[in-house]
Structure 1
Amino acid sequence: MKQPCSPVSKKGMSYPMDLTFQGLEKDYLRITDLEIVEMEGEDIDGILDIENLCFRSPWTRDAFKQELDIDCSKVFVAKKSTPHKKKIVGYICLWMVTNEVHILNLATHPNFHRHGIATSLLSFGLEFSILLGAEIATLEVRKSNLPAISLYNKFAFEAMGVRRRYYSDNYEDAIIMCSKLSYIVNRES
């Protein structure tokens, strides 16, 4: 049974990566043979590999399977061409609720850090959300995750509050961040 939310689009579609946010073009130049597509069930193993490498309290297989059945959820994967197949090198999980997109998770494989993949995924996710009417974006991030905070600042995210002892593995605080997406759209005009 599907969870009650506003649906965001048909499952199984592939979306072109032809838009960029002004000022971030250099990040796209570091990426070759990268494709961003909507997650399918067969992608979960590759996503779990990244999840287990990147997080102390990783999501489970069932958690990702459930995302496939939640109408307001979108999970996009970044796939890089290798000589034998396409390898999943990152993913972003979003929830669209009315005019807000909430970013639940964003990760890249450690072997592909600093290649612009997280920037591409975040850019893609925000562009997708804007097309569906999102006006604001929200997320939580560990206060110690300075590289992620720096990335979010590039997209006009600002700290709006703190969730004390938010993370169950070490009770670290989470910074609540928000971006008014009109700022990003106006920057492109």
Structure 2
Amino acid sequence: VFCMKGDYSFERIVSSDVDCINLKDPVPLLYLKDHPGLSYNDSSYSYGESLSEFLRKKDVGNYSCYINANSPLIIRKCPYDPYKHHGDDNGKVMKNCRDNGYYHESRDGACYLCRLEGKCGCEHYGFETFINPQKTNETGRVSACGSDHVIFSDDIYSGVEVIYNSENGLNEILYLDPHGHKVKYGMSGF
């Protein structure tokens, strides 16, 4: 703030921390606005074919793995810290995290203000969440790493299939890069 009247002036830097918990994540809407099929409810995004079409246009292999994927709408901080505990209890911690749609602090993900500008990465300390592919009975696939800051970036890289829960012949999966997100979230043994 700078004020001046006559020969008198006053200058002061004013800053404030603003919590982004419980705000809506704008990134999927900003990136997929031209791809029909995206919908949302009070808690999550449902991608229909919008995300797979977006990935197909970016020449991502196995883009169809993201048909009918979903991700959280509301930003909520993950209580499982350190994040390597997501691999505990045979994947049940990761399942609880995904079922509740938590977000994770990340140096690679964008902060909230940059997300509002349509960025998935920035120089500020940000956060990330995962895009959940639909349950499947197939195994061994490779597709885009499921972290939102990777999927919506200009530098999409691959992730290997990580099965963190199986019920009634269907697997709940994420695609995680072997030496990055898979290690960060304690999923190396999966």
Query: Does TM, scored on the shorter chain, surpass 0.5?
Result: no
TM-score, length-scaled by structure 1: 0.30
Q: Which has the higher strand share?
A: 1
Larger radius of gyration: 2
Q: Which has the higher helix share?
A: 1
TM-score, length-scaled by structure 2: 0.30
